[in-house]
């Protein structure tokens, strides 16, 4: 087992090392990278949801001064196909979804590019489309795996028989809406080709993973990975949408091929982000819980229906939380997909766990009511001894501590037992709770780091990405402790494929994987060169691989207070409180920021966020931040994030579990449960709108 890191600056409230660069404007994001004489790209998108491009008339566009070229399906450079259908931009005349890129203009200025794009006329032979998502479609199918490679279905025992024999049971259907990511910095790519240099293609990109993007681009352009360089030192948010390459990366590189060595800049607009950079699939989840009279679960099932694109499959792992969260002898999870004429879904913060905890945690609230138990007590009674899915022992599992500490901090003991028992003027007041979990996705050997001593300082390099999460800072802290030097003696370099390989910043796994590699490289540097290295001494290496012997996950308990207006049905959430078990907290300042941000995003999911799909036209109509509503400061008067002291010796040298996504998981369920407690109306569909609190839920369930 790898020796744990002895912390000195790790665990302290260190200010962000990149803060001054950002607030003074010196931190260069992708679009701001200085390149000589850049050209600018604008895309033309399909106005139909399915069809075939028959003609592209670019004469009016090319007549404008400053237009350099127009790319179409008929003249675009050829790519290697068969790797990823999403990246095969302008390689055929087939239109798979509305908003698909069907042409692109390259011009001297972004203004001319936009004007010219409006002048391009694309003729499309329209065909009937199908974007109607429902759980009773006859053509639902079973994917081979769900993201990234989990079994599609699982079954243990006989959950249906357990349900029929149960003294207490819940049988209900829950839905979550289609959601779209909207990071503050839109997706951006600057692409440049270099002729016969060793590196023939450079991308300055807003990405969560420079090496995964490099590999994908090399594959579609028929290059060796070493011939592609990706640079992303600063990224203005990602939340999953920048974790995978998308069409904008390819179209920028295609355009740069056509303009004689000039760099091409492409910044995706806010509205375009609703077309081709991914989104969270809507879900329909049929949940069944069975229990004895004391509330101990005998059966759990979650049968999930979600959508995917007809031209490329993505199956979100929504059923996974039901496999692992609570003890029950009989269990089942299934996933079925509807293939529609829509863009392909992708990652969004806590994919699978976020929607997949909403349904079971609201169902647990319903079961608590049926059993006459406090919702916290019901969860405590169903604590498993081992992971129910794998049978492995836990590396650490402190959900009980999170629930009990959260209840104490929240003042749960004063909660009225019955719903609709408290009113404050024109507002019904209620409180709710939900559990949360997110897996530890540490992959030993997946990252490497370099340590170099030069001019009296230690330079640590790794191809990590900082999305605003604090990677610059935390990796500096880790390196300082691993080298046993002061923080100000370390310079960290990240976000470049010329640095040692690093996996994507996703799945709350970045810090654990990158940090473990930094520790390993630093220790071996010391072993090789001692405490007094010479100028230029350098070592590059990765941490050791190991066999998975424990089930490892972060846990949390979310508490919410909801106020519902008795006249209008308006829902407000003046207070959120979360307590989390996330292993060692490496920097309290950045950790609290991540947890509070996740909880706020969960509030946004609960009350506001829904991508409204016009089935007649096949596209999202509220495709900007004027109409796609998100939480603002007025929505979050009080958000508290706390954590318990948790020591887990099985998580590598850092002992950390990841915090980027656990904050969002469970928040929406806690709010829905609080709304029920306030009004007596059970809400099973997200987002929670004003009208639903005046009527019984249209999705009726069986509760006994």
E strands along 341-439, which residues?
Answer: 394-396, 423-424, 427-439
Q: What are 190's strand-pairing partners?
A: 204, 265
**Alpha-carbon gap, residue 609 to 625, rounded angstroms:** 11
List, in order, residues 6 or more apart from 142 with CB less than 8 Å away. Answer: 152, 153, 334, 335, 336, 337
Active site residue 32: no
Instruction: Please choose, from the candidates 443, 442, 479, the residue with its C-alpha nearest in 3D space to the C-alpha of residue 460.
Output: 479
CA distances in angstroms from 429 to 283, 364, 416, 419, 426, listed in the order given: 29, 21, 10, 9, 10
**Alpha-carbon gap, residue 519 to 235, rounded angstroms:** 24
Calculate ∠ Cα 151-446-15, nearest 5°.
110
**Alpha-carbon gap, residue 696 to 704, rounded angstroms:** 17
Instruction: Please choose, from the candidates 445, 296, 358, 395, the residue with its C-alpha nearest in 3D space to the C-alpha of residue 648.
Output: 395
- Of residues 86, 316, 353, 661, which has the active-site annotation? 661
Instruction: Please choose, from the candidates 354, 348, 80, the residue with its C-alpha nearest in 3D space to the C-alpha of residue 208.
Output: 348
297 phi, psi to nearest 5 deg: -65, 135
Q: Which residue has the tokens 């499959």?
A: 313
Is there a contact between 579 and 406 (Cβ–Cβ < 8 Å)? yes
Is there a contact between 405 and 644 (Cβ–Cβ < 8 Å)? yes
SS3 98: coil
Neighbours of 294 (CB within 10 A): 11
351 phi, psi to nearest 5 deg: -60, 140
* Token representation of residue 261: 């060595």
Q: What are 176's strand-pairing partners?
A: 283
Spatial strand order in the sheet of 67-71: 67-71, 101-107, 39-45, 264-267, 188-193, 201-205, 228-231
Q: What are 565's strand-pairing partners?
A: 427
168-176 and 188-193 beta bridge pairing: unpaired
Spatial strand order in the sheet of 490-493: 490-493, 457-461, 448-454, 538-542
* Token representation of residue 120: 């391009």
Is there a contact between 466 and 389 (Cβ–Cβ < 8 Å)? no
Neighbours of 486 (CB within 10 A): 10
Q: What are 451's strand-pairing partners?
A: 460, 539
Is there a contact between 500 and 447 (Cβ–Cβ < 8 Å)? yes
SS3 675: helix
Which residues are known catalytic residues?
Answer: 661
């Amino acid at each position: 087992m790898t020796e744990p890191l002895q912390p000195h600056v790790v665990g302290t409230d260190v200010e962000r090392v990149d803060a001054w660069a950002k607030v003074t404007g010196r931190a260069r994001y992708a679009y701001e990278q200085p390149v000589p004489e850049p050209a600018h790209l604008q895309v033309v998108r399909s106005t139909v949801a399915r069809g075939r491009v028959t003609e592209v008339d670019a004469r009016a566009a090319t007549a404008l001064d400053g237009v350099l070229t127009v790319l179409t399906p008929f003249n675009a450079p050829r790519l290697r196909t068969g790797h990823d259908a999403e990246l095969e931009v302008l390689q055929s005349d087939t239109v798979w979804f509305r908003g698909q890129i069907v042409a692109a203009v390259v011009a001297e200025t972004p203004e001319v590019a936009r004007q010219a794009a409006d002048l391009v006329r694309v003729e499309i032979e329209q065909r009937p489309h199908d974007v109607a998502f429902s759980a009773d479609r006859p053509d639902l199918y079973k994917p081979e795996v769900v993201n990234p490679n989990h079994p599609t279905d699982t079954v243990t025992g006989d959950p249906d028989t357990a349900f029929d024999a149960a003294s207490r049971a819940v049988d209900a259907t829950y839905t979550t809406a289609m959601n779209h990511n909207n990071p503050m910095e839109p997706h951006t790519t600057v692409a440049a080709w270099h002729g016969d240099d060793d590196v023939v293609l450079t991308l300055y990109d807003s990405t969560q993973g420079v090496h995964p993007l490099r590999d994908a681009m090399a594959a579609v352009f028929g290059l060796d990975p070493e011939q592609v360089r990706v640079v992303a030192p600063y990224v203005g948010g990602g939340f999953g949408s920048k974790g995978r390459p998308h069409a904008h990366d390819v179209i920028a590189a295609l355009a740069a091929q056509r303009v004689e060595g000039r760099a091409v800049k492409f910044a995706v607009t806010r509205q375009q982000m609703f077309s081709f950079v991914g989104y969270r699939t809507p879900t329909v989840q049929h949940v069944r819980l069975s229990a004895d009279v004391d509330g101990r679960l005998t059966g759990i099932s979650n049968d999930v229906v979600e959508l995917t694109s007809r031209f490329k499959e993505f199956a979100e792992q929504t059923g996974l939380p039901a496999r692992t969260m609570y003890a029950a002898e009989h269990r089942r999870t299934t996933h079925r997909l509807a293939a529609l004429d829509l863009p392909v879904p992708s990652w969004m913060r806590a994919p699978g766990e976020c929607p997949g905890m909403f349904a079971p945690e609201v169902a647990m609230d319903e079961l608590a009511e049926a059993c006459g138990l406090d919702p916290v007590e019901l969860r405590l009674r169903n604590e498993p001894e081992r992971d129910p899915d794998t049978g492995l022992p836990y590396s650490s599992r402190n959900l009980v501590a999170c629930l009990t500490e959260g209840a104490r901090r929240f003042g749960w003991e004063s909660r009225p037992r019955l719903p609709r028992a408290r009113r404050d003027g024109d507002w019904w007041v209620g409180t709710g709770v939900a559990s949360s979990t997110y897996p530890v996705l540490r992959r030993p050997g997946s990252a490497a780091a370099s340590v170099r001593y030069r001019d009296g300082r230690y330079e640590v390099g790794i191809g990590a990405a900082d999305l605003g999460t604090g990677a610059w800072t935390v990796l500096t802290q880790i390196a300082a402790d691993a080298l046993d030097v002061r923080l100000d003696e370390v310079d960290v370099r990240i976000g470049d494929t010329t640095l040692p390989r690093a996996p994507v910043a996703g799945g709350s796994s970045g810090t654990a994987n990158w940090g473990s590699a930094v520790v390993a490289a630093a220790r071996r540097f010391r072993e090789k060169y001692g405490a007094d290295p010479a100028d230029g001494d350098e070592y590059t290496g990765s941490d050791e691989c190991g066999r998975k012997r424990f089930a490892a996950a972060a846990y949390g308990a979310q508490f919410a207070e909801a106020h519902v207006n008795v006249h209008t049905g308006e829902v407000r959430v003046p207070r959120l409180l979360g307590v989390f078990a996330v292993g060692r907290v490496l920097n309290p300042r950045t950790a609290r920021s991540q947890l509070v941000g996740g909880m706020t995003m969960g509030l946004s999911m609960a009350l506001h966020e829904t991508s409204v799909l016009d089935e007649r036209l096949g596209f999202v109509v509220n495709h900007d931040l004027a109409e796609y509503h998100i939480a603002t400061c007025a929505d979050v008067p009080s958000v508290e994030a706390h954590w318990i002291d948790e020591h887990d010796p099985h998580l590598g040298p850092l002992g950390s579990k990841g915090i980027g996504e656990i904050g969002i998981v469970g928040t929406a369920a806690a709010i829905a449960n609080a709304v029920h407690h306030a009004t007596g109306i059970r809400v099973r569909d997200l987002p929670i709108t004003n009208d639903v609190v005046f009527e019984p839920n249209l999705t009726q369930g069986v509760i006994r």
